Amino acid sequence: MPLISKIGRKSWSSRFAFLVMYGLLIVGGVSMVVPFLVMLSNSFKSKVDGEEFELREMFPRYWTDLRMLELKYLEQQTNYDLDMFKEVARANPAKMQEVCFPYTGQDIARVAKRTVAALDGDYHKDGALDYRRIAVELVGELQRAGIYSDRLTLVVDVKEALAAGGIHDPLTADELAGITGALVAGIDARKDICRLPRAAAKTEVDDYYAFVETLPFNYTILVNRGSQIAAQPAAFGTHPVLTEYRKTVLARYGSLRKIEKSYNTPLLNIEQLLPPLESWQKREYQPIYTARLTEFLQFKQEQPVAWKAPVPVESVWNRYLRQKQGTKAVDVNAKLGTVYTDVNAAPFPLRKPDGPEAFVNAWADCALHDIPIWFIRIDPSARPLWIGFLRDRYLNDMANYRRAHADYYRTARKTCSFARFEEIPLPEKANLEDGIALAEWNDFITMRAPAEAISIDSTEQRYRDFLQEKYGSLAAVNRSYGTEYRDWPAIYLPTVKVMIAEVESHRGAIRWEFITRNYRTVANFLLLHGRSFFNTAVYILLALFFTLTINPVTAYALSRFKLKATNKVLLFLLATMAFPAEIAMIPNFLILKNLHMLNTYWALVLPGMASGFSIFLLKGMFDGLPQDLYEAAVLDGAGEMTIFRRVTMPLVKPFLAYLALGTFIAAYSAFAFAFLLCPDPKMWTVMVFLQQMSWASQPVKFAAFVLASIPTLIVFVTCQRIIMQGIVLPTEK
């Protein structure tokens, strides 16, 4: 019988009550669904688009926005290292979210037209032009058009530029377009906006990859390998390079134990096998030639050329200027006497330049202390200084020199043939395999080498030489690439242009890679760690079995047989509900430890095998069943177990389903309890492993939460009808 009759539902008070009730249900539903949708949306993101949560971005922007996809790809290809991106792009953005894309005059015209249409004549205040109102609308259109990132705050700058530009009333699209073009150029220069170039032409892409193939290993760096943080390469998902590296090393050695022995590194699982970090663009980087690094460099040389990026050497000069001279061209020019228009595009002389003393000293400081030593060459005229440096370093005793280099010669199976310091040649370049020789070369360059003897063998110059050899003239290069280079030094590595071209050519595959990466990372993490899925399945099945046998049998006995102590037993059972489960955790641990049951399935199942709450509710359900059914079953000759199995249990099936769902959720989501009783990683469940993902970024953790919720969702949807009956039936009873 309904609580409100059909006639009563027609009254306005009843209708209002229904409206309030359904409104509250809708609000409650939205409050549950929206957080899940936000988590689901962010589970597909990475660093550049996952650091800030916005409800308006219910779907990841890169699904439909090509520019955001390009930005994500650039971040990935620079290994999530902002400093590396700055040097590759020759720019200085505060963060990747502020990077802007190229635009055309047509883009500016469209922005102006839309701004005027949006204002619709409403741009006056107190009888004068409301520059702020116009600026707000114009900035919004510039950001919607992708000319500026929506992470930038530009309203004040645009307002001042509009006021200084002298726009007239009435405002027209043509007039605003003319002002906006100059306005954007001015803001770019004043705010040091990082604006990316256009995609490279196919010929330029092919030549770029052909050039990269010619470079030695220390002139390139592997990209798409994940985060450059040593212990967290998979923080933003497991990237192809990382996966391929693990496969290659495991195939070479056959087992983790052999890898441990060769690399002298403890490995609990394959996820702890990480490639060495390479930072050939940094002066402070000191490679140590162990078996691990040697095999990694061999692996690197065998990888596709698209997985390698040339090391930008001349960008070190731009970084030096920003850090020590200033980020604005005006400030740098005042200090050094230069005529730069953009610090980030300042050319770097490969030999000691002529010019103002401050400029020459700055160049020498950068070359001697900031340029990585493997890119530095020393003129043979400096050999006497080299011999004198070695004499001072080893106290004029060749025995000291031989002892210092003994480990290298022994490892390389060579013999030191030098009898006198004068026989030691001036190296043509740094000996990367000998750590002592590398330290000698670094100290000689820093302390003794004259700036006049130094030259830089930069990757950029090698690229210019490559193009000059292939095309012969700058005009031929411009014709082939569609560029407008004025001279050879203006040519820099087109790494960013090539990356953008790759996105435009393979956007579908790249987008799918980003969509699935976080989920594949979590799945691989769980599959490759112990037996998490098997342990969880066994734990859940055992918990369900004991919950659906011991609790119903106990409740049936208390209901069917009128014992004198029934009330006392029920009181005892209810008393167990007065204390949180955490209070019993330590006593349970001590008991199971004394029984030698830790790290077993019994440790997980025994403490929750019987539930006072479930027994109490089941007894109430059994008490409400008609006694005529039991009497009829007895007359038919049925025993107690038959009555229990074929009469009682089917009648409470909805409640058993509800009980099973609660048991499933409790067992599946158990973390602290399962971790305490089973500290052995081989016995960890899925939830325990997910709690160990401290290395993961927020988007990867969101992907883990979404995956973890799928089994519960499937169980609930599959058993929804029975579960709802289990909720309604006790209420009606």
Write the pLDDT tens digit of every residue in 671-706. Answer: 888 888 888 888 888 888 888 887 788 888 889 889
- Is 70 exceeded by the pLDDT of residue 4? no
Rounded CA gap, 687 and 693, in Å? 10
pLDDT-based confidence at residue 455 (cuts at 50, 70, 90): very high
Q: Strand, helix or coil at 389?
A: helix
> Could you read off the pLDDT of 423-432 as tens digits, one per residue?
888 887 777 7
Same domain, 180 and 166: yes
Q: With respect to residue 335, please indicate whether it lies within any of the assigned structural domains.
A: no
pLDDT of residue 733: 43
Compute the radius of gyration of the chain from its Cα atoms.
Answer: 36
137 and 233 in a single domain? The answer is no
Q: What is the pLDDT of residue 723?
A: 61
Residues 654, 732 contacting (CB under 8 angstroms): no
Residues 34 and 70 in one domain: no
Which tokens sit at 25? 């249900």
Nearest of 265, 269, 268, 285 to residue 277 by alpha carbon: 285
- Closest among 41, 47, 44, 43 to 78, alpha carbons compared: 47
The better pLDDT of the pair 448, 7 is held by: 448
Strand partners, 125: 128
Q: What are phi and psi of 342, to 5 degrees?
A: -150, 120
Q: Do 134 and 260 belong together in one domain?
A: no
The answer to whether residue 557 is domain-embedded is yes
Alpha-carbon distance of 505 to 499, in angstroms, equals: 10
The whole-chain average pLDDT of the chain stands at 85
Based on the fold, state whether residues 610 and 651 are members of the same structural domain: yes
In a domain, 171, yes or no: yes
Please indicate, yes or no, whether residues 559 and 703 belong to a single structural domain of this protein: yes
Domain boundary among 510, 540, 563: 510
Dist CA 433 CA 443 (whole Å): 17
Residue 377's DSSP bridge partners are 455
**Is 545 part of any domain?**
yes
Of these ranges, 104-113, 526-535, 625-634, the one predicted with the greatest mean pLDDT is 104-113
Output the domain CATH number for residue 594.
1.10.3720.10
Question: Looking at the domain assignment, is residue 349 inside a domain?
Answer: no
In a domain, 120, yes or no: yes
Q: Which two tokens stand for residue 245?
A: 């590296």
640 and 536 in a single domain? The answer is yes
Task: Indicate whether 411 and 542 sit together in one domain.
Answer: no
Do 162 and 274 reside in the same domain of the chain? no
CA proximity to 577, closest of 614, 625, 624: 614
The DSSP secondary-structure symbol of 199 reads P
70 in the same domain as 35: no
pLDDT of residue 199: 92
Cα(568)–Cα(18) distance, integer angstroms:
44
Q: Which residues contact 543 (CB under 8 A, 6 or more apart)?
A: 604, 605, 608, 663, 664, 666, 667
> How would residue 57 be classed by pLDDT, with cut points 50, 70 and 90?
low
| 632 inside domain | yes
Last residue within a domain, chosen from 190, 219, 250: 190
Tell me: the pLDDT tens digits for 534-549? 889 999 999 999 888 8
Q: Is residue 3 part of a domain?
A: no
User: Nearest-5° angle of CA 78, CA 79, CA 84?
Assistant: 45
Average pLDDT over residues 556-585: 78
- Tell me the C-alpha distance between 66 and 510, whole Å: 11
DSSP helix/strand/coil, 12:
helix
Residues 541 and 622 both lie in one domain? yes
- Tokens matching residue 448: 């003794």
The model's pLDDT over 147-202, given as tens digits with 9 standing for 90+, comes to: 888 778 888 888 888 887 777 778 888 888 888 888 888 888 788 888 888 999 99
Tens-place pLDDT, residues 254-294: 888 899 888 888 887 777 788 888 889 888 888 888 888 88
By residue range, what is the domain housing residue 14?
A: 8-63
Say how far apart CA 503 and CA 231 lie, in whole Å.
29
Distant-in-sequence, close-in-space partners of 663: CB < 8 Å, separation ≥ 6:
543, 544, 547, 548
| 158 and 307, same domain (yes or no) | no
Range with top average pLDDT, 142-146, 148-152, 242-246, 473-477: 473-477
| Number of domains into which the chain is organized | 5
